[in-house]
Amino acid sequence: MTGTGKTRRYDATARRAAADRTRRRVLAAAHDLFTTQGYTETSVAQVAQRARVSVDTVYASVGRKPQLLLAVHDMALAGGPEPVPAEQRDYVQAIRETPTARGKIETYAAALGRVLPTTSPLMNALREAGTTEPQCRAVWQAINDRRAANMLRFAADLRATGELRDDLTDRQVADLVWSMNSAEYFGLLAARGLAPEEYAGHVADVWCRSLLAANAPP
């Protein structure tokens, strides 16, 4: 009986490991196709073919096409092979470890300059698909709502430094940051010829000038 129990535990572990490997192959395939072909031109069948799995396996391991795009979007934010919660992302941890509000803003702006060139086309494609596909619209809205909630946490983190303007609420701080870290705003500046690092410098400058108290450390 003891030997049988050990075998079952080993088999379960092996199955989970195999499932994780399959999921990573699916995510890698979806990432490659979405970022090279775009959302509209990529089919779940193509993802399955590139990942060397069946379409049903794609659905079981990640989900349907909008969920695939959401996972790829969050992979880009995480900078790794798997999507992770916001608090586990490297740049979020770096922001929280930075002691000054200006440092936090500059760290976040630099991270945006790295990730938005990848995530913005995905968000734009999802928004466009949402005009005819309700599920895409729902995923796009969920990402925007999640981003707004995360910006309230960012505002609270800035507030804890004691360096924000007293006349601004956390909601006002969050709304300004949320509007300028969007795919739409990044796209407008990119269309005007700003490089990602120039975008990062621009938003950091605007946020520091608009949000920080006059006596905030330089």
| Same-domain check for residues 27 and 74 | no
| Same-domain check for residues 2 and 33 | yes
Which structural domain, as residue segments, surrounds residue 18? 1-63
Residue 32 has what pLDDT? Answer: 85
CATH of the domain at 55: 1.10.10.60
| Same-domain check for residues 26 and 103 | no
| Same-domain check for residues 125 and 72 | yes
Residue that is last in its domain, among 23, 42, 63: 63
pLDDT (mean) for 172-187: 96
Q: How confident is the model at residue 139 (pLDDT cuts 50, 70, 90)?
A: confident
| Same-domain check for residues 205 and 149 | yes
| Same-domain check for residues 107 and 26 | no
Average pLDDT, rounded, for the chain: 87
Nearest in space to 202 (alpha carbons), one of 215, 190, 218? 190
Q: List the structure tokens of 39.
A: 């959302």
| Same-domain check for residues 110 and 181 | yes
> Which residues are bridge partners to 212 per DSSP?
164
CATH of the domain at 148: 1.10.357.10
| Same-domain check for residues 148 and 103 | yes
| Same-domain check for residues 54 and 125 | no
Residue that is last in its domain, among 36, 63, 90: 63
The amino acid at 107: T
Is the sign of the CA dihedral 161, 203, 146, 22 positive or negative? negative
Residue that is last in its domain, among 63, 88, 111: 63
Q: Under a CB-based contact definition with an 8 Å cutoff, are residues 69 and 127 in contact?
A: no
Q: How confident is the model at residue 3 (pLDDT cuts 50, 70, 90)?
A: low
| Same-domain check for residues 90 and 59 | no
Q: List the structure tokens of 13.
A: 């572990």
The tally of domains found in the chain comes to 2
Q: Under a CB-based contact definition with an 8 Å cutoff, are residues 154 and 95 in contact?
A: yes
Q: List the structure tokens of 83.
A: 């999507």
- What whole-number percentage of the chain has pLDDT above 70? 92
Q: Which has the minimum average pLDDT: 26-30, 40-44, 72-76, 131-135?
A: 72-76
**Angle, CA of 125, 127 and 128, to the nearest 5°:** 65
pLDDT (mean) for 164-192: 96
> For 20-40, how does the pLDDT look when each residue is reduced to its tens digit (9 = 90+)?
788 888 888 888 888 788 788
- The rounded distance, in Å, linking the Cα atoms of 51 and 57 is 10
> For 45-67, how does the pLDDT look when each residue is reduced to its tens digit (9 = 90+)?
999 999 899 999 989 988 888 88
Residue 8 has what pLDDT? Answer: 54
| Same-domain check for residues 80 and 168 | yes
Q: Over the chain, what HEC string results?
A: CHHHHHHHHHHHHHHHHHHHHHHHHHHHHHHHHHHHHCCCCCCHHHHHHHHCCCHHHHHHHCCCHHHHHHHHHHHHHHCCCCCCCHHHCHHHHHHHHCCCHHHHHHHHHHHHHHHHHHHHHHHHHHHHHCCCCHHHHHHHHHHHHHHHHHHHHHHHHHHCCCCECCCCCHHHHHHHHHHHCCHHHHHHHHHCCCCHHHHHHHHHHHHHHHHECCCCCC
| Same-domain check for residues 33 and 128 | no
> Which residues are bridge partners to 164 per DSSP?
212
